Amino acid sequence: MRSLLGRGARVLASEAMHLVRRVLPERPGTARVIYYHRIDDEQHRSCVTPRAFAEQMAHLRADGFHVMGLAAMREHLDAHRPFPDRTVVITFDDGFADNYTAAFPVLAKHALPATIFLAAGFIDGDELPVLRDRSGIRPMTWQQVCEMSRHGVAFGAHTLTHRSLTELPPDELEREIVGSRDMVAARVGAPAETFCYPRGHFDERVKQAVRAAGFKIACTTLPGCVTPDTHPFSLRRTFVARDDTVHDFARKLDGSFDLLHAARQRLGGAPAPSYG
């Protein structure tokens, strides 16, 4: 769909939806969880450039968004309490080294909370082999994880080896979930309470296993916003793409891209948002 729908068509579709949003604003009290993978200049769909990322974070601060962490989000969900206007949660999947070198300084500069989901078995290794069409990308080190943790970045689990959980037998499912929980907790020195399904693959059985392991919240790659009544183990998220301008970013935050993302995912032609 991304190839069928050129950038012009996508922008046009989102602009049309934005006009609809002006008449029918997104339901009040909802929140939006955005997600990134790599922050790097490489021309690859897993990347947002450091410059674009810095502009997006500055936009969140300058435009008065309420940026909260996932722990606070869970409190709202437990109480079914509406989120403050324009609430955004920032997340990163996998644990790439560039999250430390390129994203962390920007997050720290703006004092923005964020959560990084670690494919824990690969951290501190030579490669983070989670992308289908790109190899040789380095993960962060545990030392970097600890430094970021001391400065307010939260860490969640994203399994040990990034396998699709819906395909695993019970013993391997538990090993991936509990193993990553224990590894992240041991390294960070605090319980790992947030989880993210690799490639966005989950079902009832996977959700139950994540809940049984003591996690409090879990992120999917389904597009859309989080309402006060959203199930805490089925959080929808909004993918930030490599070619998003700040204008596109603002449109994504107001929900103008949701229909497009949903249609693209339904057609199965969107490798990027299904990365997870």
Task: List residues near Zn ion by CB under 5 A.
Answer: 93-94, 198, 276
196 close to 161: Cβ distance less than 8 angstroms: no
> Which CB, 209 or 219, lies closer to Zn ion?
219
Query: Rounded distance, CA 65 to CA 67, Å?
Result: 6
Shortest gap between Cβ of 197 and Zn ion (angstroms)? 8
Shortest gap between Cβ of 94 and Zn ion (angstroms)? 4
Strands 66-67 vs 194-196: parallel, antiparallel or unpaired: unpaired
236 close to 33: Cβ distance less than 8 angstroms: yes
Pair of tokens at residue 131? 């992308």
Query: Rounded distance, CA 6 to CA 4, Å?
Result: 6
CA 64 to chain centre: 21
Shortest gap between Cβ of 276 and Zn ion (angstroms)? 4
Shortest gap between Cβ of 130 and Zn ion (angstroms)? 5
Report which residue's Cβ sits closest to Zn ion: 93
198 close to 165: Cβ distance less than 8 angstroms: yes
Shortest gap between Cβ of 131 and Zn ion (angstroms)? 9
In sequence order, the 6+-apart residues with CB closer than 8 A to the CB of 52 are: 242, 244, 245, 246
> Which CB, 223 or 276, lies closer to Zn ion?
276
90 close to 34: Cβ distance less than 8 angstroms: yes
> Which CB, 53 or 92, lies closer to Zn ion?
92
> Which CB, 149 or 274, lies closer to Zn ion?
274
> Which CB, 198 or 223, lies closer to Zn ion?
198
Shortest gap between Cβ of 219 and Zn ion (angstroms)? 10
> Which CB, 50 or 129, lies closer to Zn ion?
129
